[in-house]
Amino acid sequence: MPTYTEISPRALNPRLLELEGISRVTIEAHYRLYQGYVGKRNEILAQLEATDRSVANQVHSELRALKVELSFAIGAIKNHEVYFAHLGGEGGDPAGAIDALIRRDFGSVDAWRDDLRATGIAGRGWAWTAYDWDERRLFNYIGDAQNTYPVWNATPLVALDVHEHAYFLDFQTDRAAYIDAFFANLDWGVVNGWIATYGISG
């Protein structure tokens, strides 16, 4: 009797196939990567069922290898579910609750956008705008891999994937142009929905 539950990939919203600047081919390939992360998460958890706990070792052991890579797979699933969910919008300046938070914590929308763009240029995998529940404010975080540099008790509200798989086909090495396209396709309504769902009140 397994102690885990297999999960399935979330369906790809068809509006993702009609983005400005980010091609259908890129999104379809990106979605297949996401499906792969889900498959590996299920596979790793199944293997963990049969792993010998008595030989766990910090230098090398099956338990260590599986749990390290499980964090990569689960991180990748969560990261991409945020990414896919908030694309397909009209971009532009934020409105509503996210607009107020950005202005309060970054000074202006332009300052937030400039910082997230620079964070995305400096990162090797991800840049996030997240709300830290302890400091009760937004910050733009960097992430080099699917499972590196997250902080506890923070909720991502904007997930900027800067892995080359997200843009190379459309922009070659021009990551800055891709980031501009990312901004142009953001759905601020989705972000404001998360703020309401999570109860972020400033």
Name the residue nearer to Fe ion (CB basis): 159 or 200. 159
Nearest distance from C-beta of residue 144 to Fe ion, angstroms: 13
Name the residue nearer to Fe ion (CB basis): 103 or 163. 163
Give the binding site for Fe ion (CB under 5 A).
161, 163
CA distances from 46 to 6, 7, 65, 66, 75 (A): 9, 12, 14, 10, 18
Name the residue nearer to Fe ion (CB basis): 10 or 163. 163
Tell me the three-class secondary structure of the chain, residue by residue.
Answer: CCCCCCCCCCCCCHHHHHCCCCCHHHHHHHHHHHHHHHHHHHHHHHHHHCCCHHHCCCCCCHHHHHHHHHHHHHHHHHHHHHHHHCECCCCCCCCHHHHHHHHHHHCCHHHHHHHHHHHHHHCCCEEEEEEECCCCEEEEEEECCCCCCCCCCEEEEEEEECCHHHCHHHHCCCHHHHHHHHHHCECHHHHHHHHHHHCCCC
Nearest distance from C-beta of residue 126 to Fe ion, angstroms: 8
| Closest residue to Fe ion using C-beta atoms | 161
Nearest distance from C-beta of residue 110 to Fe ion, angstroms: 27
CA distances from 35 to 28, 112, 141, 185 (A): 11, 31, 25, 22
Name the residue nearer to Fe ion (CB basis): 25 or 95. 25
Name the residue nearer to Fe ion (CB basis): 178 or 194. 178
Nearest distance from C-beta of residue 81 to Fe ion, angstroms: 11
Nearest distance from C-beta of residue 166 to Fe ion, angstroms: 5
Name the residue nearer to Fe ion (CB basis): 105 or 161. 161
Nearest distance from C-beta of residue 94 to Fe ion, angstroms: 23
